[in-house]
Copies of this chain bind each other. A is one copy, B any other.
């Protein structure tokens, strides 16, 4: 089922206006969800919206709370999110990191007590759209075992990085440090698909490409085995230390994942001069010149398919899950 982006955006906005969001904040927050469907990441768009509403009702997400600067260290600041809506807190902090980078070359905002931002790529793309290099990462509740164990102690801690392009088709990495996000595993399991590469372990500790087995064991595979497990520990430690916020360990002591810690970094657009733009385009052209293997698709840069899906879905309508759509419409009546 497809609907227009405007209809999706407007409907989600109305839902939020009924829940103590001011009109502009409702529209801004709904836009993040709607745009996630637009670029093909439904798992963090409409599909997660009912849970977002539920968390507002539980008091874990506070609609009217705005983030606050607690300490300034110069080009690096610590903010408190006061449990406000994750997407709004994140956009404000990435915007602030960009402002800080104007005078210092780079800027950093570390944000504590915030909430799930849905898709990491939203905020790195925000930086790229304004001409900046962007980096952001978040910690999560424990959902990934350290290497050599089956007990989840690490988060899969998504990270996004962006490099702007003049044509607006920015380079964007957006990924959890597990080979597949739990959203991706759930979708594959629902569709009874096999994963293209092994994505975790079965309950008996065997590497498997069956998403259902991994959802049962809750033992996802870190990217690069021990390497991704190590990187994930670092993203958690950095987010916790820089924000003076909660760690993955702390989040695991709660009943649910709220009050997470995030980091936003921006490098000034002044660094992306004509030489840098030429270097970016030369590298991407070289990447595109790589012959695909016999069984493979053409080689793309990270974020390339996302730009393609955005264009397609704006034209043909945004794909939505009809059951979840009905569920959301019911909250309006």
Residues of A within 8 A of B (CB): 72-77, 103-106, 108, 133, 145-151, 153-154, 161, 163, 171, 173, 175, 177, 179, 197, 205, 222-225, 227-228, 230-231, 233-234, 236-238, 240-242, 244, 247-250, 267-268, 270-273, 275-276, 279-280, 282-283, 286-287, 289-294, 296-299, 301-302
Q: Which residues on B sit within 8 Å (CB–CB) of A242? A: 133, 267, 271
Q: Which residues on B sit within 8 Å (CB–CB) of A72? A: 105
Per a CB cutoff under 8 Å, which of B73, B283, B290 touches A237? B283
Determine whether the beta carbon of B282 is less than 8 Å from that of A249.
yes
Q: A104-B76, A105-B74, A179-B224 are in contact. Are A293 and B247 (CB under 8 A)?
A: no
Per a CB cutoff under 8 Å, which of B148, B231, B233, B289 touches A292? B148
Determine whether the beta carbon of B247 is less than 8 Å from that of A104.
no
- Give the docked Cα–Cα distance between A154 and B290 (Å): 10
Q: Which residues on B sit within 8 Å (CB–CB) of A173? A: 227, 230-231, 233-234
Q: Which residues on B sit within 8 Å (CB–CB) of A73? A: 104-106, 268, 270-271
Per a CB cutoff under 8 Å, which of B104, B222, B244, B290 touches A151? B290
- Give the docked Cα–Cα distance between A75 and B72 (Å): 14
Least Cβ–Cβ distance between A306 and chain B, in angstroms: 12
Q: List 30 A-B contacts (CB under 8 A).
A: A72-B105, A73-B104, A73-B105, A73-B268, A73-B271, A74-B103, A75-B75, A76-B106, A106-B106, A133-B242, A148-B298, A148-B299, A149-B292, A149-B299, A161-B231, A163-B237, A163-B238, A163-B241, A175-B224, A177-B224, A179-B225, A197-B225, A222-B224, A223-B224, A233-B283, A241-B272, A241-B279, A247-B282, A247-B283, A249-B282
- Give the docked Cα–Cα distance between A231 and B77 (Å): 26
Interface of A is mostly: mixed
Per a CB cutoff under 8 Å, which of B103, B231, B236 touches A283? B236
- Give the docked Cα–Cα distance between A244 and B267 (Å): 13
Q: A237-B171, A283-B236 are in contact. Are A106 and B249 (CB under 8 A)?
A: no
Determine whether the beta carbon of A228 is less than 8 Å from that of B223.
yes
Q: Which residues on B sit within 8 Å (CB–CB) of A302? A: 230, 233-234
Determine whether the beta carbon of B150 is less than 8 Å from that of A291.
yes
Q: Which residues on B sit within 8 Å (CB–CB) of A145? A: 290
Determine whether the beta carbon of A294 is less than 8 Å from that of B106.
no
Least Cβ–Cβ distance between A10 and chain B, in angstroms: 34
Determine whether the beta carbon of B275 is less than 8 Å from that of A244.
yes
Q: Which residue of B lies closest to A225 (CB)?
A: B197
Determine whether the beta carbon of B249 is less than 8 Å from that of A150.
no
Q: Which residues on B sit within 8 Å (CB–CB) of A289? A: 153
Per a CB cutoff under 8 Å, which of B234, B276, B283 touches A171? B234
Determine whether the beta carbon of A133 is less than 8 Å from that of B238.
yes
